[in-house]
């Protein structure tokens, strides 16, 4: 795998843990000061940013949104010592694609990274309905023409969309539908193209608004 990740933390122990867990798979670039992040991301445009939230200052959510603007192709996983549900929902709404505990095991870390790179959200299943509710309840976020967009999906694509809206992973969708994960990914590519959305979260929102 010829990939590049940026790992941002002032904690040497955390950086070493991330490097030991992921370093054999990808090129890791370390950033230890939050002020250096925007320039680093603009220059490198990495696939993934692992961000220790202790590195952030006041206005964290605004800063995260700005970071993602300068590198729209970069996915972000946020790491925290503790994170209540309200804060976690806010992080996903700001654009992160995964939230993990700082002390996550190597196995959990690899699973989170793999899921996010596969266009999935690394999110607690119990939290997804709250995230969708928080997005769909905001005035002005109505999904214009959602019925028309779904009308052009095949029956199998509708099934996949329904399962995405329930927070299922590609692996679980493949198991439910008795197909391969590659086939699930192919269906998602077609669904994204037909509906005009760019990720699973937006697709889930569109599906929830339709009902």
Instruction: Considering the chain, tell me which residue range(s) the CATH 1.10.10.10 domain(s) occupy.
Output: 133-210
**Rounded distance between C-alpha atoms, residue 101 and residue 38, angstroms:** 24
**Within 10 A of 169 (CB to CB), how many other CB atoms are there?**
20
> For residue range 146-187, what is the model confidence (pLDDT) as tens digits?
556 678 889 999 999 989 888 888 999 999 999 999 999 999
**Rounded distance between C-alpha atoms, residue 138 and residue 133, angstroms:** 9
Please tell me the pTM assigned to this model: 0.78
Distances in whole angstroms, Cα of residue 29 to Cα of each of 18, 23, 46, 191:
11, 10, 9, 34
Q: And the tokens for 194?
A: 């037909």
Instruction: Considering the chain, tell me which residue range(s) the CATH 3.40.50.2300 domain(s) occupy.
Output: 4-124
* Assigned architecture for domain 4-124: 3-Layer(aba) Sandwich (3.40)
Topology of domain 133-210, per CATH? Arc Repressor Mutant, subunit A (1.10.10)
> For residue range 58-115, what is the model confidence (pLDDT) as tens digits?
667 788 888 888 888 899 999 998 878 888 999 998 889 999 999 999 999 999 999 9
């Amino acid at each position: 795998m010829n990939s590049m990740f940026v790992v941002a933390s002032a904690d040497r122990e955390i950086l070493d843990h991330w490097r030991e867990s992921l370093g054999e798979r990808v090129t890791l670039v370390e950033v230890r000061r939050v002020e250096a992040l925007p320039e680093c991301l603009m220059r490198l445009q990495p696939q993934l940013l692992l961000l220790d939230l202790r590195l952030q200052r006041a206005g964290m959510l605004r800063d995260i949104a700005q970071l993602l603007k300068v590198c729209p192709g970069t996915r972000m996983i946020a790491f925290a010592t503790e994170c209540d549900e309200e804060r976690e929902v806010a992080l996903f709404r700001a654009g992160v694609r995964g939230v993990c505990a700082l002390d996550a095991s190597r196995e959990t870390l690899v699973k989170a990274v793999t899921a996010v790179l596969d266009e999935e959200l690394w999110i607690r299943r119990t939290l997804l309905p709250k995230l969708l509710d928080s997005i769909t309840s905001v005035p002005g976020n109505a999904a214009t023409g959602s019925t028309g967009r779904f009308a052009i999906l095949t029956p199998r694509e509708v099934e996949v969309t329904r399962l995405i809206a329930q927070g299922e992973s590609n692996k679980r969708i493949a198991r439910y539908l008795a197909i391969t994960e590659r086939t699930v990914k192919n269906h998602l590519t077609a669904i994204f193209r037909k509906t005009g959305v760019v990720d699973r979260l937006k697709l889930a929102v569109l599906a929830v608004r339709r009902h």
